[in-house]
Amino acid sequence: MWGWQHGRVPVAVVDVGSNTVRLLVSSGGRTVLTVREPLRLGAAVEQYRTIPPEKLSEVAHVVSSFARLAREAGAVDLEVLITSPGRQAANGDELLETTAIAAGAPARILSAQEEGRLAFVGALSGALVPARRTVAVVDVGGGSAQVAIGTRAAGPVWLRSLDIGSLRLTSRALPGDPPGAERIAAARAEVEGLLADFEPLAPRTGLAVGGTARALRRLVGPRLDGDRLGDVLELLAGTPCDELIARYELPPHRARTLAAGTVIFAALQARLDTPLKVSRTGLREGAIGELAARRAAA
């Protein structure tokens, strides 16, 4: 599971998520190329329960372009991973077929458990954590959120997925710009309702991965604890997106969903009762490591 730096031949992963499609090309643990394109598939799924034909065409174009870039960068193995849009859309199988054809490579829809496991593997690949220390990895995406708890030695032994993410919660509970304190409170209540039976193992260390976590690092630094997340929510409740983009150099699609993502992180961090350190590695690095290990073993 931990063969993240096996081999020196470039390999690539295209990650089709609710907010963004991303490409990572890596060789021997070193990033060769990374590219992203915000497509907001999760917004279409939330509105229509399916991915419309025009969105499928857009995904196909982006994935085809990313596959070409990966091969030009020397990648000999390429895999497409589809996260919550594939699980939540009524036509997830069509999305799977479309991306596989566009990439000319294998594609698969990750289960929520597999998504959490790969985020755990990838986060720990870039963290200096003792082999037997219990670690929680929290991945808040656009359509869902995953929590994986375990050790470097044993891997994740406790996994939980929430069927809510920053984009879905924005659509349901935070329509305003800025959203305002009352809407933030309502969003927090909705997330708390999903955590009624959330009883995780007690971690000694917490890591936060994903686009929301990286955006929060721009606002408050790499440590996400109750005080900092509370302060951020006060800021986001009253600050328009345009101001956030200008002040913190946030991508527009991330600024729009940051309040919702912060609500989810704050709820999970409080339940885990440990600060979360923002990780620079996550799901894609976990998938790249396993793809490289499979190639090395072949």
pLDDT tens for each residue of 224-257: 999 999 999 999 999 999 999 999 999 999 999 9
State which CATH number among 3.40.50.10490, 3.30.420.150, 3.30.360.10, 1.10.1520.10 fits the domain covering 128-278: 3.30.420.150
Average of per-residue pLDDT across 265-282: 97
Residues of CATH 3.30.420.150 domain(s) within the chain? Answer: 128-278
DSSP label at 66? H
Q: Does residue 9 sit in helix, strand or coil? A: coil
CATH code of the region 11-112:
3.30.420.40
Between 297 and 67, residue with greater pLDDT:
67
Report whether pLDDT(5) > 70: no
pLDDT for residue 7: 53
Look at residues 150, 179, 162 and name the one whose alpha carbon lies nearest to residue 257. Answer: 179
Which H or E element spans position 98?
helix 92-103
4: confidence class by pLDDT, cuts 50, 70, 90:
very low
pLDDT tens for each residue of 108-165: 999 999 999 999 999 999 898 999 999 999 999 999 999 999 999 999 999 999 999 9
pLDDT for residue 92: 97
Averaged confidence pLDDT in the chain: 94
Residues of CATH 3.30.420.40 domain(s) within the chain? Answer: 11-112
Report whether pLDDT(80) > 90: yes
pLDDT for residue 6: 47
Report whether pLDDT(8) > 80: no
Rounded Cα distance, 290 and 11, in Å:
10
Q: Does residue 99 sit in helix, strand or coil? A: helix
Q: Establish whether the linkage from the previous residue to 178 is cis, with ω within 30° of 0.
A: yes
27: confidence class by pLDDT, cuts 50, 70, 90:
very high
Rounded Cα distance, 76 and 97, in Å:
21
Between 29 and 254, residue with greater pLDDT:
254
Q: Are 233 and 263 in contact, with CB atoms under 8 Å apart?
A: yes
pLDDT tens for each residue of 193-215: 999 899 999 999 999 999 999 99
Report whether pLDDT(291) > 80: yes
Q: What is the pTM of this model?
A: 0.93
What percent of the chain stands above pLDDT 70?
97
pLDDT for residue 144: 95
